[in-house]
Amino acid sequence: MDAVHVRMAAVWFVLGALALAATVSTEVRAQAPAVDSAAIQILQRMTDYLGSLQQFSLDTQNTFEEVLESGQKIQFDLAASVVVQRPNKLRAERKGDLISQFVVYDGKTLTIYNSADKYYAVAAAPDTIEDALHFARDSLDIVPPSGDLVYKNAFDLLTANITSGMVVGKSIIGGVKCDHLAFSGPVVDWQIWIADGDQPLPSKYVIVTKDDPAQPEYIVLMSNWNVAPDLNDALFTFTPPQGAKKTDFIRMDTGRTSAR
């Protein structure tokens, strides 16, 4: 019997390119500069703060849209819990309509376990979170959980292709007063809501894909931030459950399945 190879890729929430889905009046649009410096300052304050955190955890509720051939949009939901410890540890668990999955990176290896079919795959990974994220994306075609949150150059990544940006105003997300920002780029429009206070943490993201005629949306609500969680190495260790079967990632950079 041939070995079973499962592509352990998933659509993880990406805290990077996000979307302008809110309706803003024509007058506001006309008055706003192409890229409002106030919006940039608020965004940079958030990325600087996140970049300064040596560890954090949070929960997310994610909604993404699939577009049928008829053009009808169908929404799917998933919940995720993410733990990050810099410079080289990440853990995430998510449960949703389409997949239940566990991801762990321990500074040496990246492991993904799909609990529904009890398959897991392990790959040697670079020794920093940033390099591991690049490796996962470029070699394994995986966008890992937490994405742009943990990049040290998150601000540069977020603003690289923007063509406009504005402060929409104040908003309340999950009981938290936030600054509501909106940005636009060639491929995506995005919005972000950032807590107004000493801890400028993101509370909500929305992304719309402009190069798809149906313009599907992806929405992330973020809650239960902990910027000083009590962590230990066991959190970033994967022990295969009884009956779990090991398989291989499909390597995108070689065009063949990676050997084990």
| Residue 260 belongs to some domain of the structure | no
User: Would residue 50 count as lying in a domain?
Assistant: yes
187 in the Ramachandran plot: left (φ > 0), alpha (ψ -120 to 50) or beta? alpha
Residue 74 maps to a domain? yes
Give every strand in the sheet of 55-67, ordered side by side.
164-173, 176-184, 188-195, 202-209, 217-226, 55-67, 73-85, 89-96, 100-105, 109-114, 119-124, 245-247
How crowded is residue 222: how many other Cβ atoms within 10 Å of its Cβ?
A: 25
In the 8-state DSSP scheme, what is residue 132? H
CATH code: domain of residue 242: 2.50.20.10
| Domain with 211 in it | 26-246
The pTM for the full model equals 0.82
The tally of domains found in the chain comes to 1
Distances (CA, A) of 240 to 80, 231, 246, 251: 20, 21, 9, 22
The secondary structure of the chain in percent helix, strand, coil, rounded to multiples of 5, reads 20, 40, 40
Does residue 17 lie in a domain region?
no
Q: Would you say residue 199 lies in a domain?
A: yes
Q: What is the pLDDT along the chain (260 residues), one digit of tens a residue?
A: 333 333 333 333 333 333 323 333 344 444 555 999 999 999 999 999 999 999 999 999 999 999 999 999 999 999 999 999 999 999 999 899 888 899 999 999 999 999 889 999 999 999 999 899 888 888 888 775 556 667 878 899 899 999 999 999 999 999 999 999 999 999 999 999 999 999 999 999 999 999 888 899 999 999 999 999 999 999 999 999 999 999 998 776 654 444 33
For the chain, the distance separating the N- and C-terminal CA atoms, rounded to the nearest angstrom, is 17
Residue 33 belongs to some domain of the structure: yes
154 inside domain:
yes
In a domain, 110, yes or no: yes
